Structures are given as C-alpha cells and as structure tokens.
Amino acid sequence: MKLWEGRFDKPTAADADAFNESLSFDKRLYKADLCASAAHAAMLGKCGIITEEESACIRDGLKGILADIESGALSVEGAEDIHSFVENELTARIGETGKKLHTARSRNDQVATDMRLYVRTSIDKATRLLLDLVQTLYGLAHANVKYLMPGYTHLRKAQPINCAQYFNAYSEMFLRDLDRFGACRERLNVMPLGSAALAGTSYPIDREITRSLLGFSEISANSLDAVSDRDFVAEYIFCASLVMVHLSRLCEDTILYTSDEFGFWNIPDEYSTGSSIMPQKKNPDIPELVRGKSGRVFGHLTAILAVMKGLPLAYNKDLQEDKECFFDTEDTLFSCLSIYTALLKKVTINVNRMFTAAGEGFSTATDVADYLAKKGVPFRDAHAITGKIVRHCLEKKKTLTDMSFEEFRTFSDVFERDILTVVTTRNSAEQRDSVGGSSLRAARAGLLAIKRRLRKY
Ligand code: ARG
C-alpha cells in the first residue's frame, strides 16, 4: 500500500512505480529507519501526542521487524521505499496503532535523519579500516627504518631516502584522511527529525528527546535546510575521494616497485594474478583495480554535486539520487581499503636492491654541491661545479663514489679528503637531519609522531 493514495482516482502505472521506487537500494537504511522510528515513537509517547501504551506497542513492533530482517525471516520488498515498507509492515503486525507512527513526521525529515545515521556509521567503519591501514604502514616503516631506498622526483632518481620516511609519507596522508572523516562526522551529527515536510510541525514535540536517543550532538536549526541538505553526503564522498587519491598513488608506486625493472618489492602469489596467454607473467591486478576504482568514486562526487546544484528549497525528489552514489562510494572505499591493507601485510621488501638503486644515478650530487656551499662557495657556483663533475663521470663511465680525491681537486681546491665520505649513500641520507628528513633520527621521530597521532583514535 502507498502512503499517499488518498487523493488519487487511479493507481499509478507499473512503469511509473518501477521508476519511482527506491526500496531496491534504500533497504540498506532499514536499521537507521527502524531506530529513528523507535525514537520518534518514544518521543510521541512522552509528549502525550500518542499514549504511552501506543508508543510501547509501536516500539515492540519495530523491534520485531528489526529482528526478523536481521535473521532473514523477513525480506525487505514490495513497497515504494524503506519508510513505506516499515510503516506497512508495522501496521500489518500491530494493526491500527501502526498508522499513528507518522504523526508529526514526514518522509522528508525521516530520510534526512536516516541518511545522517547511516553515514555516521559508515564513517566509523571507514575510520577502523583507515586505522588498520596506517598501522600496517607503520609496521612496514618500523621494520625498515634502518634501510635506504631511492627517492624520486619526476620519476628520476633524486636523493637517497629512508624507507621509513617513505612509508610514513603515506601514513601522513591517511592520517589526514582520518581527521577529515572525523570533522565530517562532527558536522553531520545534527538531527533533522522534527522538521517534518519542510516547515516544522504544529504538534508539541520535544526534539531534545529524539536527539539524545539517537546520539546526535545537536538539533537542526532550520527546517527547510534540514530536509533539503545533503552536503554531508558530498563531504563524505569528497573524503573518500581523497582516500582513493592517496591509495591510487600508493598503487602506482606498488606497480612500479614490483616490476622487474625496479625489483624493490614483491607481491606474494596470493595477491597476484597471471596472464591467459603469457605463461611467465605475474601481474599486479589488485593495485591496478584499486587505482582504476578511484575514478569511479570521483565520478560519484561529481554526481552528488550536480544533483544538488539547481534544487529550489526545500525537498525535491532529485535528492533520492544521493543514495546509490553514496552506497557505491562506501562499498568501493571499504573493499579497496581492506584489500590493500591485506596486500601490504604480505608485501616483501628487497632492501639490498633498494640500497643499490639508492646510490645510482648520481643521487648524492646535491651533497657535493652542499659540501662546497658550506665551505663558502656560493650555491649557484657549487651547483655548476658539481654539474661539471657529473658530466665528467658520465664521460668516464664512473660514479661519484669511484672518484678519487685528486680527481675532485681538479674541479675545486675547496675539496678535502672527507668529500669521499660525503658522496656515499648512507652519508647523504644521514646529512638530512632536518625535521621530517631522511636521517635515521628524523625517520624515527617521524615514526613516533605517527604513533602519537594513532593513539588519539
Ligand atoms: N525515497 C525518498 C528519498 O530518498 C524518500 C522521501 C520521499 N519524500 C517525498 N516527499 N516524496 O528521498
């Protein structure tokens, strides 16, 4: 039965029903809808809008529906949306009293409340998954803090870096994502229930009762805004989009680092795939898929923004379109976070290969320039002298560590014997002891800072 049949002569056409319905996807809101309905019924009873007996009977009925959905005894189908489903089912179970549940309420404030409850729970799940990921990255950083690897700019070897510094960089990104989701949660934790269709209600409701029962921190201040705002959905999808950006970058690194050309990491067989034609192949399908799925989440962000942009106040049915893009965002986010954390837990790291690579490509040339500059040569001149040394090495097919002291001296008499240590990989990393830098001390401090921030959660 439809909740609004009264004023119509004819039933709606089957194709109109099919087009209008949202139950096929908003059934995910069943728990939020039942909880918000129970809180509303409790409030109606306490305020004397319905009797306490009616209120208790409604709440018992709702509890039974929840239990039956969760046990699988009741399947959610055969109504326009989750709100109609619950009310129909309730009335079928408890009779006429069920029809009183919708007093002082509209589906407009109801769906806005359900969505906020649902998104709040989703943030809590995203938080747990992100924490697991950061802890995994922390483990990798901690285990490899003594090792060095090449650091890149423009995907060309730039300077040696500390392995922990590398993994910590991703932890920093995901910790910001955690904070961002936390701020989104705070902002969305405002209760629309009690706004009714758009203008508020003439019944003597007490919104404070429903607020506290549903764990909202505030009550919405404007009924028009409360029923028509979905910026919390857009904000969630934005937070998820940034997580996907960060994951996607990590995927790109993984794909490169596990290639034969780099040979830095190894993805174990359990998380690798093969080729149907080339028997030798071991492919990184999982990182590629996560990288690919990021585009899908960004698409949902565009979708929700476009849905909202031209809407006149207050509620419009366009807002029903907030759900599928949201649900697919959370599904994608959760599956990508889970699989990537699992994969990272199994990744093995070839520290010797990375150390060798860290010393290649004249990666300590900046140290030569800095050496000269620290001895009074203007940095621009020091840069030019070092450039000439690199050119010399390229011509002679040697590395900076192959250079003798005498050879260095032919480029500048500022060089002393200690230049031979300055150009080593380890020294280069150790010299960068500034906060956040590549020295062992700085990398350890980075680990400690991450540990402290993890404790907050
Ligand atoms: N399925 C609807 C939605 O998601 C529920 C609210 C319907 N409200 C209305 N005035 N038709 O937005």
Q: What is the CATH number of the domain that holds 83?
A: 1.10.275.10
Q: Which two tokens mark 439? A: 């020295």
pLDDT tens-digit profile, the chain (457 residues) = 788 888 888 889 999 999 999 999 999 999 999 999 999 999 999 999 999 999 999 999 999 999 999 999 999 999 999 999 999 999 999 999 999 999 999 999 999 999 999 999 999 999 999 999 999 999 999 999 999 999 999 999 999 999 999 999 999 999 999 999 999 999 999 999 999 999 999 999 999 999 999 999 999 999 999 999 999 999 999 999 999 999 999 999 999 999 999 999 999 999 999 989 989 989 999 999 999 999 999 999 999 999 999 999 999 999 999 999 999 999 999 999 999 999 999 999 999 999 999 999 999 999 999 999 999 999 999 999 999 999 999 999 999 999 999 999 999 999 999 999 999 999 999 999 999 999 999 999 999 999 999 999 8
- Output the pTM of the full model: 0.96
DSSP state of 283: B
For residue 424, the Cα-to-chain-centroid distance in whole angstroms is 39
Q: Are residues 147 and 282 in the same domain?
A: yes
| Nearest ligand 1 atom to alpha carbon 323 | 4
Q: Whose CA is nearest to atom 4 of ligand 1?
A: 320
Asked whether 340 and 284 are in contact (CB, 8 A), the reply is no
Q: What is the dihedral of CA 442, 447, 453, 454, to 10 degrees?
A: 180
Pocket test for ligand 1, best of 27, 111, 116 (most atoms within 8 A of CB): 111
The amino acid occupying position 27 is K
Pocket test for ligand 1, best of 12, 29, 80, 108 (most atoms within 8 A of CB): 108
Pocket of ligand 1 (CB under 6 A): 22, 26, 81, 107-108, 111, 315, 317, 319-320
Q: Are residues 350 and 432 in the same domain?
A: no
Q: Are residues 334 and 247 in the same domain?
A: yes
For residue 166, the Cα-to-chain-centroid distance in whole angstroms is 20
Q: What is the dihedral of CA 447, 345, 176, 170, to 10 degrees?
A: 70
Residues marked active site are found at: 154, 275
Measured over all CA atoms, what is the biggest interatomic distance in the chain, rounded to whole angstroms? 102
**How many whole angstroms from 22 Cα to the centroid of ligand 1?**
8
The range of the structural domain enclosing residue 263 comes to: 131-195+222-356
Q: Is residue 114 included in any domain, yes or no?
A: no
**How many whole angstroms from 364 Cα to the centroid of ligand 1?**
63
Q: Are residues 290 and 228 in the same domain?
A: yes
| Nearest ligand 1 atom to alpha carbon 197 | 10
Asked whether 165 and 354 are in contact (CB, 8 A), the reply is no
Domain boundary among 309, 329, 356: 356
Q: Are residues 22 and 92 in the same domain?
A: yes
Q: Are residues 371 and 330 in the same domain?
A: no
Q: Are residues 343 and 404 in the same domain?
A: no
**How many whole angstroms from 400 Cα to the centroid of ligand 1?**
70
Domain count, the chain: 3
Q: Are residues 283 and 372 in the same domain?
A: no
